[in-house]
Structure 1
Amino acid sequence: MTRLRPDLRLDDRDIAILATLSREGRITKTDLAARVNLSPTPCWERMKRLEKAGLIRGYRAEISLADLGPHVQVFVTVELESHRAESFQIFERTIERMDQIVGCWAIGGGYDYLMQIVAIDVTTFQAMMDGLLESRAGVRRYFSYIVTKPVKEVPPALALLEAKDG
């Protein structure tokens, strides 16, 4: 048994279900059950339990942005002017409303946040950042890193998260 959260116990089949769904969200229930060595009904019940526990938050398509058209993907580190709780809340509320920001993580170390941004081009990206700087979001400074090519993009290896009992 694995305990990732104190209130939730997962066994190897639960981890296998999560790992399979993270790679193949459209797999049929029958194929999923066969992959994790369960009959369909118990597999479905486990899947529903994992959804109810909040471990499965949704099912999505992986879209090829390059095939849709020109775009730029940028990672941005952000340092805020103030480190009061209210400052973090204001920043987070501000960026929540910005569709170009597709990911944002509070981080430890020299910066406060790491953002992932997708824009049509560098000019559009810069206009968005200029707007963020002019807003009351409290950005002191930022550094941008333009993605030149994707090297690796995969779901996390869930087996690595298993806690060893004992």
Structure 2
Amino acid sequence: MRRQHQKLAQLDRLDLKIITALLREGRISKVQLSEQVGLSATPCWERIKKLEKSGIIRGYHADIDLSRLVNISYFRVEITLNSYSMAAANRFEKTVKAMPEVIECEAVLGGLDYVLKIAATSTESYREIMENLLDEEGMDFDFRTFPITKPVKSFSDSSVIELIETMDI
């Protein structure tokens, strides 16, 4: 039996088609988008503006392949703060937000506190990043590292419609 989730926004299938199309191709023309979702250009554009105004569409971004700019490797890192407190968590979060090599940081529940994604030019570079983080004043944590060998799926590869339908909303 699936748990029922509260729907936060009143969207119909056309809105979800627009979101899915923009997620996959943020630079799609208004004409192409309206054809893809089955609306004329003006109603499609009005829906996009409504989705932007409501904050559902937060922005439009380029998908940059950093490996074409620099030799780069990615590492997932599980972090467990040794003496968890709000002050320690805030200090950790403030520190990683200031580190350009930390390209993602998520607070999680369970046996660890954070999952990071770090970009580095080599394993040696990664080691230096982690040593510098550990050397920061007040930093006391354990970590496990997982080098990323290849991306398999990203959020932009997902169908918002299928995702929402699996949630029985």
Q: Specify if TM > 0.5.
A: yes
**Alpha carbons of 1:164 and 1:29: their partners in 2 closer, same or farther (altered >3 Å)?**
same
- Equivalent in the alignment of 2:28: 27
Structure 1 stretches of at least 4 aligned residues deviating more than 6 Å after TM superposition = none
1:4 corresponds, among 7, 16, 27, to: 7
Give yes or no for contact 1:81–1:138 (8 Å, CA) kept in 2.
no
Q: Is 1:88 matched up with 2:89?
A: yes
2:69 maps to 1:104: no
Alpha-carbon contact 1:3-1:9 (below 8 Å) kept: no
Q: Runs of 5+ in structure 1 lacking a partner?
A: none
Q: What is the deviation of 1:139?
A: 3.6
Q: Which has the higher strand share?
A: 1
Return the letter of the residue paired with 1:134. D
1:111 and 1:31 mapped to 2: Cα distance? 45
Label 1:3 to 1:49 Cα distance change in 2 as closer, same or farther (>3 A).
farther
Aligned pair count reads 162
One-letter amino acid of the counterpart of residue 98, structure 2: R
- Inter-partner Cα distance in structure 1 for 2:46 and 2:109: 38
Give 1:59-98 correspondences, 5 Å limit. 59-98=60-99
Equivalent position of 1:161 in the other structure: 164
Gaps of 5+ in 2: none
Identity %: 36
3-state SS in 2 of match to 1:94:
helix
TM-score (norm 2): 0.87
